[in-house]
Structure 1
């Protein structure tokens, strides 16, 4: 055994695999490949001289030694985070990079105003925006790829905290040629038409909850997409109905490109997420203050 060869990144991989019990899911959280995750675990096992996991058809299962060492690994990672936080608090000026995920049009998220806010108050802090989708942003927050990010809907991850921004209004919209069928139709009729649906991780599924609670009828899916622009294009092309942001749908309806179902208005919360354990970091405190200022939140 040679503990001197143990690296922090190996411990992070070890803890992540233990949490996910699955190499592929751990790789997604760590934003790396499955072979890289396997290599980290193998190298750590060799350095420690013990087997940490049993590989089973259902996933990765901690050995007895692995369960004990997981606690030690987490303690090391927590100590590293505490040291980094203390070092940040000792700095007179904020430096480094702030990576924020955007889940929709930057203008809707006041991205320009926030960038100006950061530049004016913290010139040593570099701001990076990464365009993504809500589900991926939450996974990237867990993995440490992002420092913060916007997302629609609820968050199922206990390690992520959120700053509520506002409720976003959504509508069900369909191709303009379907106006006669859609206008005044019941949910049963709407659900039987072809839909541009969403993958399981897409928050638009959550927006459908009020309609599904009224009836067990679920829409028939013609295709899947989790991108706002793609959904809009597919609806206009006649593929099917879908959920869209109300302000986009109203504009396109005025232009005769689609028709909005007048049955029900849907909503989803828009929030800014970040890791709970990072809330006291000076950079995160600055980010949260900036978000509150540009959205007028107190």
Structure 2
């Protein structure tokens, strides 16, 4: 049994899915399944129940998950200690990046790392905010920039980079902005929404719950540029980031109906239990320093 098999076990346990685990681990699904089978054969116990809804930990699997997480944490600390003994900050930083709001902060971080710690290798993975958080928790990412529309996970230590508002936008003349909002009427209209793994998707779900509605038709679009085009074209209503919403409004393409109650925060995060590792400590210091400029 090796460290890679343990990482696979932990990732499948967290995700409850071979498919999602293979995406996060950059492994084929057969490879992930082979890791789990090899562990079960070596240990002589069943770690998961295979169900139509996914991979469910057995009682023994639950007990071993805690130990596996401890081993992975100790392994990372071992590598970090070896780096400190060498006296040179080096190693690989696996960094998740979501959306465009963090582009400037990412650029400053990469420039600073290149100048101050040229031995550090940075590997970028562009993904959704949900996948970045999952990757950090599973140990497949060391840290990441992502958009948070709700409350950050308690397992994460984070730095707020920026924040921006979200606006519900509608085609011109579809809704009279001078009248009180009729949410039941809005529910009858098509909503253009990205996946729930995005900040706009999370904010849309929060609006539905807050006002007790569920749109009769939801058009799933993962591109904000396409969302703006569809709204301007009269297809339906949807959420836009503040900068895009104001630009579209100024050009007369859309009508802004309302601003959502909570802004979206752009966060840089890593696991709380890893903040003392030298590489992450230095990276957090750089992000904090550049954010305050």
**Which TM-score bucket, shorter chain as reference?**
0.7 to 0.9
Tell me the distance in 2 between the aligned counterparts of 1:182 and 1:11.
57
TM superposition shift of 1:129:
3.7
How many residues matched?
289
Tell me the distance in 2 between the aligned counterparts of 1:166 and 1:107.
8
TM superposition shift of 1:203:
2.5
Matches within 5 A, 1:234-273: 234-261=230-257, 263-266=258-261, 267-273=263-269
Matches within 5 A, 1:149-228: 149-152=144-147, 153-154=149-150, 157-175=153-171, 178-179=172-173, 181-185=175-179, 186-188=181-183, 189-208=185-204, 211-212=207-208, 215-228=211-224
State the Cα RMSD in Å: 2.9
Q: Describe the SS at the equivalent of 1:117.
A: helix
Does 1:86 find its partner at 2:81? yes
Does 1:97 find its partner at 2:96? no
Contact preservation (8 Å) 1:151, 1:270: yes
Contact preservation (8 Å) 2:193, 2:204: no
Contact preservation (8 Å) 1:135, 1:203: no
Q: TM-score, length-normalised on structure 2?
A: 0.83
Contact preservation (8 Å) 1:30, 1:143: no
Q: Describe the SS at the equivalent of 2:217.
A: strand
Matches within 5 A, 1:1-298: 6-62=1-57, 66=61, 69-105=64-100, 109-152=104-147, 153-154=149-150, 157-175=153-171, 178-179=172-173, 181-185=175-179, 186-188=181-183, 189-208=185-204, 211-212=207-208, 215-261=211-257, 263-266=258-261, 267-296=263-292
Contact preservation (8 Å) 1:101, 1:150: yes
Unaligned segments of structure 1, at least 5 residues:
1-5
Contact preservation (8 Å) 1:187, 1:211: no
Contact preservation (8 Å) 2:169, 2:256: yes
Contact preservation (8 Å) 1:174, 1:182: no
CA shift digits 1:197-255 (9 cap, x unpaired): 23232332443467446531233434112333332233233322111111111112222
Name the CA shift for 1:100/1:15 in 2 (closer, same or farther; >3 Å).
Answer: closer
Unaligned segments of structure 2, at least 5 residues:
none
Contact preservation (8 Å) 1:170, 1:243: yes
TM superposition shift of 1:76:
3.1
Contact preservation (8 Å) 1:150, 1:271: yes
Contact preservation (8 Å) 2:170, 2:236: yes
Name the CA shift for 1:74/1:149 in 2 (closer, same or farther; >3 Å).
Answer: closer
TM superposition shift of 1:15:
3.1
Q: Describe the SS at the equivalent of 2:96.
A: strand
Contact preservation (8 Å) 1:141, 1:148: yes
